[in-house]
Amino acid sequence: MNDVDVCVLQDAVDDLCRWAEVSQLSISTDKCSVLNIGKCVPNVPISINSAILPYVTSCRDLGITVTSDLAPSVHVNNIVVKEHQRANAIHRCLVSRNVELLVRAYLVLSVLD
Q: State pLDDT tens for residues 70-101.
A: 889 999 999 999 999 988 888 888 888 888 98
Give the pLDDT confidence score for residue 37 in this predicted structure.
Answer: 86
15 vs 49: CA distance, rounded Å: 11
52 vs 32: CA distance, rounded Å: 10
For 17, the enclosing helix (H) or strand (E) is helix 3-22
Give the pLDDT confidence score for residue 1 in this predicted structure.
Answer: 60
For 100, the enclosing helix (H) or strand (E) is helix 99-112
| H-state helical runs in 23-98 | 73-93
Given pLDDT bands bounded at 50, 70 and 90, which one contains residue 6? confident
15-74 pLDDT per residue, tens: 999 999 999 999 998 899 988 887 776 778 889 988 999 988 899 989 899 998 888 999
Distances from the Cα of 88 to the Cα of 73, 82, 85, 103, angstroms: 22, 10, 5, 12
